[in-house]
Amino acid sequence: MDEKTDLDNIIDIYYQAWFKIGDIYHAWSKKHHINDTTLFVLYVIKETSPYCTQNKICNKLYLPKQTISLILSGLEADGYILRELNPADRRNKIVTFTKQGEQYANSLLLELKAAEIEAFSDLPKEQVQSVIDAFSILPSLLEKSLIK
């Protein structure tokens, strides 16, 4: 095999792994009666400080404003979030958890984190470091070659 064929195979394996990881998060979310996109919205709200906005969620998850708006409307209807006008930018609302929403998000995200820790714990430390190194450098390399 030549180098191009080797790289083609590596990229195919990369895609298979990428899609499989997505399938796993989708199945985990479904098991917990939540859409995986909603799960990641909860994660962004929790991790974005000092406050979160719909635009921050859209930018972080690369999803359309309509999609995020629909998810936020559902979370608001369930009593998990509040949306308030942003005094600094009245076009964009600040998204915060209600007490119930914070408990809901924390319970889901802590369980998810525990499962991810368990998965990484099954790898030898050197392999964990290799995964982290690769995932740390790959975005800048992809950006360099895809977004010239």
Is 43 domain-assigned?
yes
Is 1 domain-assigned?
no
Is 140 domain-assigned?
yes
Is 22 domain-assigned?
no
The whole-number pLDDT of residue 1 equals 59
How confident is the model over 87-127, as pLDDT tens digits? 888 888 899 999 999 999 999 999 999 999 999 999 999 99
Burial class (CB in 10 A: 0-12, 13-18, 19+), 52: buried
- Check whether 3 has a pLDDT greater than 90: no
The whole-number pLDDT of residue 104 equals 97
* Alpha helix ranges (H) inside the chain: 3-31, 36-47, 54-61, 65-77, 99-121, 125-146
Q: The whole model's pTM is what?
A: 0.87
How far apart are the C-alpha atoms of 92 and 56, rounded to whole Å? 10
Domain tally, the chain: 1
Is 6 domain-assigned?
no
- Check whether 50 has a pLDDT greater than 80: no
Is 138 domain-assigned?
yes
Mean pLDDT, rounded, of the chain: 93
How far apart are the C-alpha atoms of 72 and 95, rounded to whole Å? 9
Is 9 domain-assigned?
no
| CATH code (residue 94) | 1.10.10.10
Is 66 domain-assigned?
yes
How confident is the model over 52-80, as pLDDT tens digits? 999 999 999 999 999 999 999 999 999 99
The whole-number pLDDT of residue 5 equals 81
Provide the token pair at 4. Answer: 């191009």
The residues near 47 (Cβ < 8 Å, ≥ 6 apart) are none
Domain ranges, residue 111:
32-146
